[in-house]
Amino acid sequence: METKHIGFRFPVKDIELLQKVCKSRGEDMSDFVRRATRKALAELSYLSDEDKKALGVKNERNS
């Protein structure tokens, strides 16, 4: 899969909290943000049912 580097601005307090959460979970911030973004896309039904299931998002047809 091809990737591209992008940047975002966050409030300092959010970054500090994100760093703490990522450290406790043993993941880096990029992985956290990618997963959170994909989960939001799944919740908006932009991803397949299989992807929704993998992200723990309930399929509205089967709820």
Domain locations in the chain as residue ranges: 12-56
Residue range 31-51, pLDDT digits in tens: 999 999 999 999 999 999 999
Q: How crowded is residue 49: how many other Cβ atoms within 10 Å of its Cβ?
A: 14
pTM confidence score? 0.81
Q: How many CB atoms lie within 10 A of CB 2?
A: 3
Say what the pLDDT of residue 32 is. Answer: 95
φ/ψ (deg, to 5) at 25? -90, -10
The Cα 48–Cα 15 span in angstroms is 30
Average per-residue pLDDT for the chain? 92
Tens-place pLDDT, residues 20-31: 999 999 999 999
pLDDT band for position 15 (50/70/90)?
Answer: very high
Q: What is the pLDDT of residue 1?
A: 84
